[in-house]
Structure 1
């Protein structure tokens, strides 16, 4: 059994180190593992069969629909309206533009479903504003980078849909609702750190808005924010499923961007659909090939082996959870959130459920943990996008990021060891 695990992970990481795309590395590693049990032809047939089975799910339709809705939002000028709303809410705090950046990322990220898109859209507006008001460019970029993944925890979130599928059908509605408090805590924690730094450096606050500014900002932003209310309200009340909600989100964003805001036209719509299709073409094959990898791991009892290994180190649930978090933090530094979820959920979920951990709680912990990896070197996608938009080297961003990383890690431990942070709202609203 140890040989099979060594082949699976050895081949996978070797192919990744050689620069092979992750989808091929997953498929070939799965096939190599199955070759220890079956002939080559049978292994290839089984991998292809399990890939098709991995995509045979009605729930998966939610992913391309939410991606399309996010693409419409990205191209529809939604970011500037949400930034104005964020400035209205938190602009009067010390370092108001930094707080505005965090809140705008929470709002836009939850709607677009992409940390990188949020980092680019919000950062391209907020970073020049902060520079003009005397903010250090490295600090401005760090705030934008650290807060960009917050929206992945605040529904609607395609990340939770992926986790639901790979975890064996964990309730999407429960995951959506469970993400609210951790997502808000992430944003608030970063605002505390950003506010302390801003206070010490004497960064200015935004001017007091006039009554007319308040009315105009609300009228422009409320239709965008209403998307979250419609989607989550409909799911919680049982009016429609998550898959149906994704289709409704597309219709709503089409009306919003083409009729209300008039920022998307029939002329630009094909390119937006193509952009969403290209993103979908990256995500869905990953889900397909991860189904083959999960099946091969299950056949060779690899999750059980790893469980025995961890339990051999300690039988204390607190220690095991800490070790799992440290492993996932390291993984997140080198791997994007979607493939990491697909690969490691089947490995660690059986371990934590032995200790009675709720799959919804673990899904939030896993997602929060991997969100940190989006911002960390050496391959954090938001880190490179945010520093590029700010026009500063990564070395100038890492230092102001350090206290924010410490805050995020402290929040991760709190969410891990206090289940009610994640489960209170699902227990209240769905039971």
Structure 2
């Protein structure tokens, strides 16, 4: 490690310790590296512009953000919630199952854990805690845990980020996320069942079966969005970026024309909020691209791959080591930062060890999403605290059992690659 890179790391951790957002911290650290190494400072801007300009795939990120915000503002998620209550709300602890089902279906539209937690998640927490039927901690905990499904089931913003750094197919990555997302929903439902039996949670008033066709009909336009997205991508009609644009347009038509619950003023607010969120993500992505250039220039991935080869660490040991490291980093860092900055260090070693990069990427993304509900950082913990006012200590207490369930799912996915690669191989993946 050169002196300039040591300065870079010192500045990065020092500026981040002051509370500076990680995107700005990486940007300042990168400029410090260029100054210390005697390089032209304009190199930072050059790398940023070149990578963003050639990163057509990155356009999918703001488009998925717009689609999610339109669905929340246009009350589209309300109809989805009514459908899920009618479907699974009749069982003991039924609102817990509703929570998981909404996250699973909403995941096929937004690709964002934060959008899930702040939108339909906030509504479900209000319904669960009304009249003291469920404790505030339990409602917040299961909402935070189920929101982690969003970035796994396609479309997925973190999968787009991983495709950018690994040069893997977004289509195959999206397909590979389906089974893991279903598995995560299953283990959360099992934990909800265990807690419902142990705590004798309330049984919801069942919606009459004769109402189910009407509620299903109301929800069909919403449920049709994942079909449009995935059908367009895997049918070869659209690229993932074009599919994201179609998703945003479809959500807009539903909210403003079909349901008529989003005004022009509301649309302006949606665009303003989406621009702010997209800019926040863009700063992290842009600064990470500059930082990755520095890491590559220092040949750190090659050195790491050589070190792992020197200690004769096999594929199993490598996966265990990387997952433990990512879980530890997830307690402190944002998932996007881990994907864009940390994972590129391990991709050459994974390739050298013969580990399938689709499997490696999906496991890593699942790991980083678990980090969203892992104390003390846990972004979703803070998001739910901000939108509901529930105390952080109560949220943490409520999320811990579901965190344990998600960790079990992570172990299964890391140990059995065929679970992840099954669907991609059905559609021609040769890995």
Distance in 2, matches of 1:225 and 1:334, equals: 36
Deviation at 1:161, TM superposition (A): 1.2
Instruction: Specify the alignment match of 1:148 in structure 2.
Output: 147
Distance in 2 of aligned mates of 1:387 and 1:64: 25
CA distance in 2, matches of 1:101, 1:117: 14
Aligned with 2:329 (options 325, 328, 331): 331
Report if the CA contact (8 A) 1:102-1:190 is conserved: yes
Out of 43, 48, 51, the residue aligned to residue 45 of structure 2 is 48
Distance 1:166 1:178 in 2: 17
Which has the higher mean CA deviation after the structures are superposed, 417-426 or 392-401? 392-401
Tell me the number of residue pairs that the alignment of Structure 1 and Structure 2 aligns: 427
Contact 1:54 1:289 (C-alpha < 8 Å) held by counterparts: no
**How far apart are the structure 2 equivalents of 1:221 and 1:430?**
33
Shift of 1:393: 2.2
| CA distance in 2: counterparts of 1:303 and 1:8, whole angstroms | 17
Does the 8 Å contact 1:374/1:380 carry over to 2? yes
Which residue of structure 1 aligns with residue 259 of structure 2?
261
| Secondary structure of the corresponding residue to residue 268 of structure 2 | helix
Alpha-carbon distance, 1:5 to partner? 5.1
Q: Which residue, out of 283, 305, 308, partners 1:307?
A: 305
Shift of 1:78: 2.0
Cα distance in structure 2, aligned partners of 1:312 and 1:33: 29
Q: Aligned pair 1:17/2:17, yes or no?
A: yes
**Separation in structure 2 between the aligned mates of residue 392 and residue 50 of structure 1, nearest angstrom:** 42
Aligned equivalents of 2:386 and 2:248: distance in 1? 30
Q: Distance in 2 between matches of 1:295 and 1:389?
A: 37
Q: CA-to-partner distance for each residue in 1:229-268, whole Å, 9 max, x for gaps?
A: 1111110111111111111112211111111111112232
Retained in 1: the 8 A contact 2:26–2:288?
A: yes
Secondary structure, counterpart of 1:334 in structure 2: coil
Q: For residues 119-159 of structure 1, what are the alpha-carbon distances to aligned partners after superposition, in whole Å with 9 as ceiling and x for unaligned?
A: 12233322233233622221121111111111111111122
Distance 1:16 1:55 in 2: 24
4+ runs deviating over 6 angstroms: none
CA distance in 2, matches of 1:256, 1:230: 14
Scaled by the length of structure 2, the TM-score of the pair is 0.93
- Report the equivalent of 1:421: 419
Deviation (angstroms), 1:88: 2.5
Gaps of 5+ in 1: none
The CA distance in 1 between the partners of 2:343 and 2:327, in whole Å, is 14
Deviation of 1:345 after TM superposition, in Å, equals 2.1
Partner of 2:395: 397
Point out the more displaced range, 48-57 or 396-405: 396-405
CA distance in 2, matches of 1:418, 1:350: 21
**Structure 1 residues 261-314: Cα deviation after superposition (integer angstroms, max 9, x where no partner):** 111122321221111111111122322222211111111101122334444555
SS class of match (1:150): coil
Q: Which shows bigger deviation, 323-332 or 278-287?
A: 278-287
Which moves more between the two structures, 250-259 or 400-409?
Answer: 400-409
Query: Deviation digits for residues 369-396 of structure 1, max 9, x if unmatched?
Result: 0111111222212112324555432222
Partner of 1:347: 345
Give the corresponding residue for 1:39. 38
Match of 1:29 in 2: 29
- Give the drift of 1:429: 2.2
Offset at residue 9 of structure 1 (A): 3.0
- State how far apart, in whole Å, the 1-side matches of 2:260 and 2:248 are: 16
CA gap 1:247/1:400 in 2 versus in 1, 3 angstroms: closer
| Structure 2 unmatched ranges of 5 or more | none
CA–CA distance in 1 between the matches of 2:238 and 2:428?
Answer: 14
Between 1:287-296 and 1:114-123, the stretch displaced more is 114-123
Instruction: Report the CA distance between 1:329 and its aligned residue.
Output: 1.1
Residue of structure 1 in register with 2:66 after alignment: 68
**1:176-255 → structure 2 map (5 Å cutoff):** 176-255=174-253
Cα distance 1:337–1:216, how it changes in 2: closer, same or farther (>3 A)?
same
